[in-house]
Structure 1
Amino acid sequence: MEAFIALFSEPQTWLALMTLILMEVILGIDNLIFISIITNKLPKARQRLARQIGILLALVLRLGLLATIAFIVSLTEPVFSIGDQAFSWRDLIMLAGGLFLVWKAISEIHEHVDPDAVNQANNYSAMKLTFAAAITQIILIDMVFSIDSIITAIGMTRHLPIMVIAVVVAVVVMLISAEPLSRFIERNPSVLMLALGFLLVIGTVLIAEGFGVHFPKKYIYAAMAFSVFIEGLNIMARRARSKASGAGHE
């Protein structure tokens, strides 16, 4: 307990904690977008439960990984090479997760853009996932984002209490944001396509990282934030036109 008090009596500890919380929240947004898109395909009565299970599983995975820091660090060690390119377990997990995200984003975009695909989905109720299938997909992607999150945390600080607090705060933010984000995506089809575009970008970045090509994530998130800003203006413009049209008919 004395060591804990001593650690948090230092100003640099609080700076590291705030920085790590911000990073974990940003990384959690990717996870949350995927969970929102998947759970919105479930029957209404089960969507909230699926979101809560998915986010709590993300917390369990992150805390579990923090309990095995030595194992997590070993994931970055090369296990084999192809030519000059070395691959670690982390690289392979990023590759698999990236390919899954790209496949999922493209299939969802195709499902919403192609009228024939939409009609077929409606005929066979394919637009609705089973609860078990949704949770399975969420667990798989939780694993990818959790490993990325914890490796990022380890790279920023070596103090376990700081990492645990940052992870818990980030997951609490995810829990609070899950319902509003899911409803917003469901009410705005254009936002759904934007979110699927984000998943496509994130999946591509994960694949690149699996091959050892690292993009500065600040530029990626800045571009995503700008896209959200522009889409927000589009939504406000559509609402203004809708009100003006309604007023004109009165």
Structure 2
Amino acid sequence: MEILFTPNALIALLTLTFLEIILGIDNIVFLSIVSGKLKAEDQPKARRIGLLLAMVFRIILLFGITWVLSLQESLTHIDWGFFKASPTGQSLIIFGGGLFLLYKSVTEIHHKLEGEEEGEKGKASNGLSAAILQIALLNIVFSFDSILTAVGLVSMKDPAQGGFGYEGALLIMILAIIISIIIMMIFAGPVSKFVNEHPTIQILGLSFLILIGVMLLAEGSHLAHFSFGNDGEVGTIPKGYLYFSIFFSLFVEFLNLKMKKSKKTVKLHNSEIVDDKLKDTDFTN
């Protein structure tokens, strides 16, 4: 507890909490879309259960950190000449999560654009238990990513060597997870309401999930040391690029929504000149 109140520990706690919230954005988007298909009275329950499951999975994985780190060891070696790989338990989980996210996102986009319109009957048929199962499966994948980030950020070395020690580091990571989940619980309702009220935001959210799915596939392939021919191992997609594209797309969409609500019509420069020329043009010939 004494280590927790040191300046370095507080900085690590704030930094890790912020990173956990950033890493939880994709979780909130997925929660919003899945819970949006439920009855109105079941949606808050699904969000709360989903975020609580995320917190429980992360804390359990923290206490089993030795097992989590052991998943980074190669299970087998594959050498087919044109394809080489050394898959690990972690890479298989992340790769499977990417496939699930791609399947779910594409299916939801197809349903919203070409499927039947959702009515109360459609929402009622989508059970709470099925939604929670989907949320739980994806939470497992997101939890691994979150925990490995936390372990990489918070040093478990002895305090004499500049670390926080095992117990101190564990306490910092658990507090960061709890604080970040509480913050996400506060904002999950308004975010879900906003997403479900705007169809364009829903499609953007599903597009983001496709991007995250591709990122997970690339990360899983990299951790499994996938190599095709002489091209070298598959690389990862920097998360900074991904989050920049997400925030930039949201910024553009917010501008579009604001312009839509505005009563004033946006008029392009030189539009009056073009209108005058069109009036004077004889189209009869």
Q: TM-score, normalised by structure 2?
A: 0.78
> Which of 161, 167, 174 is the matching residue for 1:164?
174
Q: How far apart are 1:110 and its partner, in Å?
A: 0.7
**Counterparts of 2:218 and 2:124, CA distance in 1:** 31
Residue ranges of structure 2 left out of the alignment (5+ in a row): 157-168, 223-234, 266-285
**Counterparts of 1:204 and 1:29, CA distance in 2:** 16
Over residues 69-91 of structure 1, what are the superposed CA-to-partner deviations in whole Å (9 max), with x where a residue is unaligned? 11111111111232332211110
Identity rate of aligned residues, in percent? 39
Greater mean alpha carbon deviation, residues 142-151 or residues 123-132: 123-132
Structure 1 residue 110 and structure 2 residue 110: aligned? Answer: yes
Structure 1 residue 216 and structure 2 residue 269: aligned? Answer: no
**Counterparts of 1:82 and 1:34, CA distance in 2:** 34
Residue ranges of structure 1 left out of the alignment (5+ in a row): 245-250
**Counterparts of 1:208 and 1:140, CA distance in 2:** 19
For 1:162, give the aligned amino acid. I
Over residues 168-214 of structure 1, what are the superposed CA-to-partner deviations in whole Å (9 max), with x where a residue is unaligned? 11111111111001100111110000000010000110011010032
Asked if structure 1 preserves the Cα contact closer than 8 Å seen for 2:101 and 2:209, the reply is yes
Structure 1 residue 46 and structure 2 residue 42: aligned? Answer: yes
**Counterparts of 1:9 and 1:171, CA distance in 2:** 21
For 2:212, give the aligned amino acid. I
Q: How far apart are 1:236 and its partner, in Å?
A: 0.4
In the other structure, the counterpart of 1:55 is: 51
**Counterparts of 2:125 and 2:152, CA distance in 1:** 40
Change (3 A) 1:127 1:76: farther
* Shift >6 Å, 4+ stretches: none
Over residues 219-238 of structure 1, what are the superposed CA-to-partner deviations in whole Å (9 max), with x where a residue is unaligned? 21111111111111011011
**Counterparts of 1:222 and 1:15, CA distance in 2:** 24
Asked if structure 2 preserves the Cα contact closer than 8 Å seen for 1:75 and 1:90, the reply is yes
Asked if structure 1 preserves the Cα contact closer than 8 Å seen for 2:39 and 2:123, the reply is no
Change (3 A) 1:80 1:30: same
Q: How far apart are 1:9 and its partner, in Å?
A: 4.2
Considering Cα pairs closer than 8 Å and 6+ residues apart, tell me whether 1 or 2 has the greater RCO. Answer: 1
**Counterparts of 1:142 and 1:123, CA distance in 2:** 28
Secondary structure of the corresponding residue to residue 181 of structure 2: helix
Structure 1 residue 150 and structure 2 residue 147: aligned? Answer: yes
**Counterparts of 1:140 and 1:100, CA distance in 2:** 9
In the other structure, the counterpart of 2:271 is: none
Q: How far apart are 1:124 and its partner, in Å?
A: 7.5
Q: How far apart are 1:15 and its partner, in Å?
A: 2.1
Structure 1 residue 228 and structure 2 residue 225: aligned? Answer: no
Secondary structure of the corresponding residue to residue 62 of structure 1: helix
**Counterparts of 1:180 and 1:27, CA distance in 2:** 18
Change (3 A) 1:217 1:189: same
**Counterparts of 2:174 and 2:13, CA distance in 1:** 10
Structure 1 residue 64 and structure 2 residue 74: aligned? Answer: no
Q: Which has the larger radius of gyration?
A: 2
Asked if structure 1 preserves the Cα contact closer than 8 Å seen for 2:28 and 2:188, the reply is yes
Asked if structure 1 preserves the Cα contact closer than 8 Å seen for 2:16 and 2:176, the reply is yes
CA RMSD of aligned residues (A): 1.8
Q: TM-score, normalised by structure 1?
A: 0.89
Q: How far apart are 1:64 and its partner, in Å?
A: 0.8
How many residues matched?
236
